[in-house]
Structure 1
Amino acid sequence: MSTPASSPHRWRKSSHSGNGPSCVEVASCTCCQIAVRDSKNPNGPHLTFASTTWTIFIDQIRRGTYDLR
C-alpha cells in the first residue's frame, strides 16, 4: 500500500496548486495503478488506487459531486 518517496515514481501536482504547501501529488505506478501522496510529506507513505477508480473519482470532482471547500 505504501512506499517511501524514493521509489521510482514520477510525482506531479496540479498546476492549479501553484506553489502552495497544501497539495497532493500523483504518480502512475504501473499501467493500472495511481499513487497519491501529501506534498508536505514526500518521504511519507502514499495511497495506491486502481487507475479506473482514480478516473471515476476525478470525473466526479469535475462534475461537482464533492464539495471541496
Structure 2
Amino acid sequence: VHADGLVTKYAHNSKLFVEPGDLVEKGDIIGRVGSSGRSTGPHVHFEIAQDGKSINPTEFLKTN
C-alpha cells in the first residue's frame, strides 16, 4: 500500500525478493518473472487498485 492509498500488485512470479510493506525504490529488483497459477506462459501481472477497485495504470506509467 502506497502513502496515497493506492495498492500495486505483481503476480505470477517465480521468486519474490520483497514482502508486503517493504520499502522499494526505482530500480529495485522485487522478483523474477514466472508462470504460476493458470497462466499459459511467463509474464508479470501488474495491477493498480484504489479503494478495492482495479484502475487503469497507464496514467501512472511514463513513456519514452
Q: Under a length normalisation based on structure 2, what TM-score does the superposition of the two structures give? A: 0.28
Identify the structure with the greater helix proportion.
1
Identify the structure with the greater strand proportion.
2
Structure possessing the higher relative contact order (Cα contacts under 8 Å, 6 or more residues apart): 2
Q: Under a length normalisation based on structure 1, what TM-score does the superposition of the two structures give? A: 0.27
